[in-house]
Chains A and B, each alone.
Chain A
Amino acid sequence: MLDVRENILARLVAIVATMPSIKEVFRNNVDLTEDQLPAAAVLDGDEETNDHTDASMRPANRPTLATMTPEIIIFKIAPQVGPDISTLRRELVKAVLYDTQLNEQIVKTGRFGNGAIRYLGCQTDLGWERSMFGALKANFLFKYVLRPNDL
């Protein structure tokens, strides 16, 4: 069994866990407390293929290209949350895009295959709690081969 989608998501959790400024990393946990911050949440993203345009005679179980758009949200409460969030964003984007295992073994980008990893951008969210609260949601796109035979 080889589930590329799951392998990507699991690897993202492992990558974020290596960030020195992050205290805890969660997968699909939607209920955090301030004591767990600075934290990150990896949220399973939508997966799409372009097969709705393919009405050919191609057998249903042939490989196809899929794209997934997971989200990684980082949270922090601090008096000066702006620079802190910027630092976390910088660490996060670099860690994901440069990860060797993700690029070479899972997604297979560049000379390793026809996969792709893209950073799509981010959105921020601010508010007051005990101190200033900041969240940054980073969006990534992963393109990979979906092989039904491997599932």
Chain B
Amino acid sequence: MIDYNALLYDPVYAELGVSAMLTTTAGVFDITVIDDTRAKAQTSNSVEVRSVGPGAFARVPELTSKGIDRADYTNSMLSFNKRMWVVRSFELRGSPNGEDFGEVRFLLRSSDA
């Protein structure tokens, strides 16, 4: 069976990943994430307001190996690339090896107030 973590995710994260600090109720963890902040626009009537939709990918096996439970994701603090965010939600990106060996995309919001 193909090990997608060894052959795909790990090399990709080694190139594109950045160091991040995830602070949950269980503690503070150093992890690697890929910045996935994207342009985002909201349209009200005909008026478009442009901003960003901050996000970051992480590997589920890395989080699991460090004792970070899925229940701890939401409302944790994620710091990377000199910005601090709050995980407002997340979506799992399964791999052919199963969701426990795939990625999670953290959906972030500003940590202001």
Contacts and interface: CB of A to CB of B under 8 A. Distances in A.
Nearest to A33: B50
A63 interface: no
Interface in A13-45: 29-34, 37, 41, 43
Interface in B14-62: 40, 42, 44-54
A75 B45 CA distance: 12
A77 interface: yes
A62 interface: no
A75 B49 contact: yes
B93 interface: no
Interface residues of A, number: 26
Contacts of A127: 42
A86 to B, nearest CB: 16
Given A127-B42, A129-B40, A29 B47 contact: yes
Determine which residue in B47, B52, B54, B113 has the highest number of CB atoms from chain A within 10 A of its CB, and name it. B47
Given A79-B113, A130-B109, A32 B45 contact: no
A73 interface: yes
A22 to B, nearest CB: 14
Contacts, number: 70
B44 A34 contact: no
Given A125-B42, A129-B53, A32 B112 contact: no
A73 B44 contact: yes
A75 to B, nearest CB: 6
B80 to A, nearest CB: 15
Interface of B: 40, 42, 44-54, 88, 107, 109-110, 112-113
Interface of A: 29-34, 37, 41, 43, 71, 73, 75, 77-80, 125, 127-133, 135, 137
Given A41-B47, A129-B49, A130-B52, 7 more contacts: A31-B47, A79-B112, A128-B40, A128-B88, A130-B51, A131-B110, A135-B49
